Every structure is written in C-alpha cells, then in structure tokens.
Structure 1
Amino acid sequence: MTEPSGGSNDRPRRPVVVPAIALVALTAVGVTALLGGLDEAPETPEPLSQGAVLDQGMYSTKFVESRVRVEKAKSIVDEDKRFVELVFDVTNKSDETAMVGLPAEKIEQAVSRFGFAASLVKISPAFDKESGPFVFGLVKGDETQQLQPDVPTQVIVRYRLKEGQRPPDKMTLDVASFEEGTSFLNATPTWEMVSKPVGDKFYPEIKARVTLPVKQEAGT
C-alpha cells in the first residue's frame, strides 16, 4: 500500500492554550462529580461548642459540658470508679412524655430508636460496650428515665474508664433532630427523627456537630 499524498505528518503541532479559568472550571466539575453531583454534595453540619443551645424540633437542648467524674468507693471491698460524662439540659417541647433513651450502636439504627439520647447518632471517640453508655435524667436530684413536657431535665450520658485509661481531651457529637409527622397507620401526629434514604436504608440527617472539651477533675 502507498501512503496518502498531501504532505508530511512530521510537522510540529501548535500547542493548544487552555485558559486558567477553564482549568478551574474543569477541576470544580471533577470534584462535584466525585461528590455525586451538585444536588447530592454532602452538607456540612452546623458546628457548635460548649454552652450552645440547639432546637431539635421535639427538644430544646443545651450542651452543658463534658467532664471526668470520680465516684468514690463506698466500702473497703469496693473501688473508685471514673467516668467520662456528657451533660445536657433538655426540655421536651412535645405534649407527650418522652424517654431519655439510649444512643444507637450503629448510625443506621438511630432512626428506629426512641428518646432524646437516640439523637446522639455518633459519639467520638468511641468506647467499648463494657464502658457504657449509661444514660439517665436528673430532676431535683432524683434519677429518671422520662422527660416530662416543658420540664427542664439534666441528662447524663456516661462511659466508665478502665483502670489507668486516659480520658480523651475532647468529645465530638453528631446530633440529629426530630419533626412532627403523621402515623401511616392511624393518622395520629407523631415525632420522628429527620432522615434520608441511602440505598435501601434510612440514615439520620446530622443537624449539628458539637465539640466539647473534657474537663478533668483534680487528681484524675
């Protein structure tokens, strides 16, 4: 076969100049594609710190503090116990008695849990199962597992530290919220955790990310 006529292909090609603004646009498109598109890019939850008050729909919650608490031994056969505690001031804004509740072990389990503490969908750093969490409310010094309507209640979430275990410097909480909807079965108004579908599961929407420094007790 003979080569087609019409001149040599060995001439140097002229460089193609791409404007800088086009490169920036292409980079932005690439990042957006990695995030799943403009409408699916994850939202950054509201950052909060100690003392902040969050409207969770069903609850008004103040993030009081995180601290190390020591319970002294009550007898010679007992031993001192150390805990990392998360302290909240919670007011139930609904018309019904609510439960203090428990955080879920996995974030996808949170939407089916009841009670305030279920909205603490991620607590970092994580503790093992033997350490807790132990959760209770305090009203006028008395422990309770209920949150009465419009009654401010201090809620304690605590984890026991092992002997010699160093407490973390800070605790970070991913917190969800609740919205009032209608029950599918009987059209009764009910409060449910705000969630969104991811694949074949529902995950809570994170309304706020709260960072609390851990206050050390003297001698701990």
Structure 2
Amino acid sequence: MTEPSGGSTDKPRRPVVVPAIALVAITVIGITALLGGLNETPDAPDPLSEGAVLDQGLYSTKFVESRVRIEPAQNEWDEEKRFVELLFDVTNQGDATASVGLPPEKPEQAFTFTSFAGSLVKISPAFDKDAGPFTFALSKGGETRQLHPGVPSRVVVRYKLKENEQPPEKITLDVASFEFESQFNDDIPAWQMISKEVGEKHLPEIKARVTMSVKKGDAA
C-alpha cells in the first residue's frame, strides 16, 4: 500500500516552548485586568514632610512644623495649658478673600469646603472632640480667620491636650487640592475641591500625605 500524502501521523510533535518572561507578562496583565485595568490604578499621594511646599491650586502651602505649645497659668486659680499646634505658611492664590476654616470631622464632608483647613481632610492620630480644633491666622492686629489674596499668612491649627496626656510623636495629614472650573449646576467657574464619587459619597482626592514630627516644650 502506498502511504497517504503528507506522511505518517505517528511522527512525534516538537513541544512549543514559551519563554518564562512571557508567562510572567501574561500573568501580570491578567491580574491587572482583574483589578480594573492598566489606567485605573490610583496614584499614591506624594509623601512630604515639614518644610515642604505644596501647590493646592487655591493655596500655596508650606508645612512649617508641628509642636507642643505651653501656656503658663495666668494666676493662682488658672492652670497651665498645653496644645499640639500645626503651623503653616499659606498664600491665598485666588482673587477673593478665603476663610481659614476648620478640618472636616469626616473626609466625606470635605468636598464642599473651600477653606484652607477644610483641605486637611484627615489628621492622624485623631484627637478627641473636646480637644478642638482651634484655627486662626496671625496678622499684625492679632488673630484673624481670613486669608486675603496674595498675602502670605501664618496659619495655626491647634488641639488642646488633657492633663498628663502625652502628645503624639508624629502627625500625618492627608491634604486635598482645588481646581477652578465650572460647577455641576451652572457654567460659572469657581474654586472647588477635587473629589470623586465613591458609591453615594464624594471623597476628596488626596494630593499629598504630609508627616511632621511633633517638637515638644515650646512656651507661649
């Protein structure tokens, strides 16, 4: 008998060799796809420390330091007070007077804020509600809660320590930023905090995570 055209089918086949690097690449791409795609992985916020300067859009901010502030008793009926203070040099880069404001109690409450302290969306470790915060800017006339356009201001965010309470070694701030654009309900541009919808919440996008060591024992 003659063999069929094309030769015998009993001839062993050569194995196909896939380079290990290709297998690794395929695995990585598969995992990335499961996690939401190459372009959807959120960027980690910039890690900063005291002395750093951050452009927040509406504000240019220098993170000066964190310290313990001691106010001696004024008389025999008074008592010494101790505070943890966060100090910032802030310049309002907008065209209108802005507010020093207060840090939000929860991050999801911050997206409507345009005040400076409103952009400090998370402070760790957290302080008790009775501790504050107390916020103000220093001016020639004393304390103010306004930030005028183009005028650098020293801003203080202060928390009161309880008797015998030890201050934290470090404080970490999650800081948001702002953009000047049309609002969702009209075409008039205005400053607003950059945020994103997560379920039914608007969460601020964290521009930077700033860690400052707490210096101890500064008297008033």
| TM-score, with structure 1 as normaliser | 0.85
The alpha carbon displacement at 1:128 in A equals 1.2
Secondary structure of 1:40's partner? coil
The alpha carbon displacement at 1:201 in A equals 1.8
- C-alpha distance in structure 1 between counterparts of 2:107 and 2:71, whole Å: 31
Conservation of the 8 A alpha-carbon contact between 2:124 and 2:172: yes
Conservation of the 8 A alpha-carbon contact between 1:35 and 1:42: no
Task: Tell me the amino acid that sits aligned with residue 136 of structure 2.
Answer: F
Q: Deviations over 1:167-210 (max 9, x none)?
A: 11111111110111124555333100011111222111111111
Secondary structure of 2:206's partner? coil
| Paired position in structure 2 for 1:12 | none
| Paired position in structure 2 for 1:52 | 52
- C-alpha distance in structure 2 between counterparts of 1:149 and 1:171, whole Å: 29
Task: Tell me the amino acid that sits aligned with residue 146 of structure 2.
Answer: Q
Q: Deviations over 1:58-83 (max 9, x none)?
A: 11100000000011111211111111
Name the CA shift for 1:179/1:73 in 2 (closer, same or farther; >3 Å). Answer: same
The alpha carbon displacement at 1:129 in A equals 0.5
| Paired position in structure 2 for 1:7 | none
Deviates further, 65-74 or 194-203: 194-203
The alpha carbon displacement at 1:23 in A equals 5.4
Q: Deviations over 1:46-67 (max 9, x none)?
A: 1111111111101110000000
Name the CA shift for 1:130/1:35 in 2 (closer, same or farther; >3 Å). Answer: farther
Name the CA shift for 1:102/1:20 in 2 (closer, same or farther; >3 Å). Answer: same
Q: What 5-or-longer segments of structure 1 have no aligned partner?
A: 1-16
- C-alpha distance in structure 1 between counterparts of 2:34 and 2:108, whole Å: 23
The alpha carbon displacement at 1:21 in A equals 2.8
- C-alpha distance in structure 2 between counterparts of 1:31 and 1:167, whole Å: 43
| Matched residue count | 205
The answer to whether 1:154 aligns with 2:157 is no
Secondary structure of 1:112's partner? coil
| Paired position in structure 1 for 2:13 | none
| Paired position in structure 2 for 1:117 | 117
The alpha carbon displacement at 1:18 in A equals 7.8
| Paired position in structure 1 for 2:42 | 42
Name the CA shift for 1:174/1:78 in 2 (closer, same or farther; >3 Å). Answer: same
Conservation of the 8 A alpha-carbon contact between 2:70 and 2:218: no
Conservation of the 8 A alpha-carbon contact between 1:135 and 1:157: yes
| Paired position in structure 2 for 1:84 | 84
Conservation of the 8 A alpha-carbon contact between 2:95 and 2:149: yes
| Paired position in structure 2 for 1:28 | 28
| Paired position in structure 2 for 1:136 | 136
The alpha carbon displacement at 1:37 in A equals 3.0
Name the CA shift for 1:163/1:24 in 2 (closer, same or farther; >3 Å). Answer: farther
Secondary structure of 2:173's partner? strand
| TM-score, with structure 2 as normaliser | 0.85
Conservation of the 8 A alpha-carbon contact between 1:72 and 1:81: yes
Name the CA shift for 1:125/1:98 in 2 (closer, same or farther; >3 Å). Answer: same
- C-alpha distance in structure 1 between counterparts of 2:150 and 2:118, whole Å: 19
Task: Tell me the amino acid that sits aligned with residue 45 of structure 1.
Answer: P
The alpha carbon displacement at 1:146 in A equals 0.5
The alpha carbon displacement at 1:140 in A equals 2.4
Secondary structure of 2:110's partner? helix
| Paired position in structure 1 for 2:195 | 195
